[in-house]
Amino acid sequence: MNTNSTQSYIDDFSKWKDFLGNKVDQAHNVGMSNDNITNAAVKLGSFLADKVDPENPQERLLKQLWENGSKQDQESLARMMINMVQDPQ
């Protein structure tokens, strides 16, 4: 993998995290609880895993984790993703 490809994956994943963070902020701003946001994230995760082909290694990993996890694992992964975009490192 060349450096340009690696940077593209990082940029794409960073853009996705920014997008998700904005949506989580919007949900909080309209009064959604963390539980409701997590439930919506679980539904979105199921849709994405079922209908969308991964475009980069990060998406491929998330899809594999989602597909191999129990319902409880999926809820945990959704919460972790929400936490990640709320408190970016």
Domains in the chain: ranges and CATH:
3-86 (1.10.760.20)
pLDDT band at 5 (very low <50, low <70, confident <90, very high): low
Nearest by Cα to 64 from 82, 78, 49, 44: 49
Inter-residue long-range contacts of 54-59, CB under 8 Å, 24+ positions, other chains counted: 55/12, 56/8, 56/9, 56/12, 56/13, 57/9, 58/9, 58/13, 58/16, 59/13, 59/16
Query: In this structure, what token pair is assigned to residue 52?
Result: 């969308």
pLDDT band at 3 (very low <50, low <70, confident <90, very high): very low
Q: What is the Cα–Cα distance from 19 to 3, expressed in whole angstroms?
A: 24
Instruction: Note the pTM of the prediction, 2 decimals.
Output: 0.78
| Tokens 């899809």 found at | 63
**Mean pLDDT score of the chain, rounded to an integer?**
85
| Tokens 């690696």 found at | 6
pLDDT of residue 10: 52
pLDDT of residue 8: 56
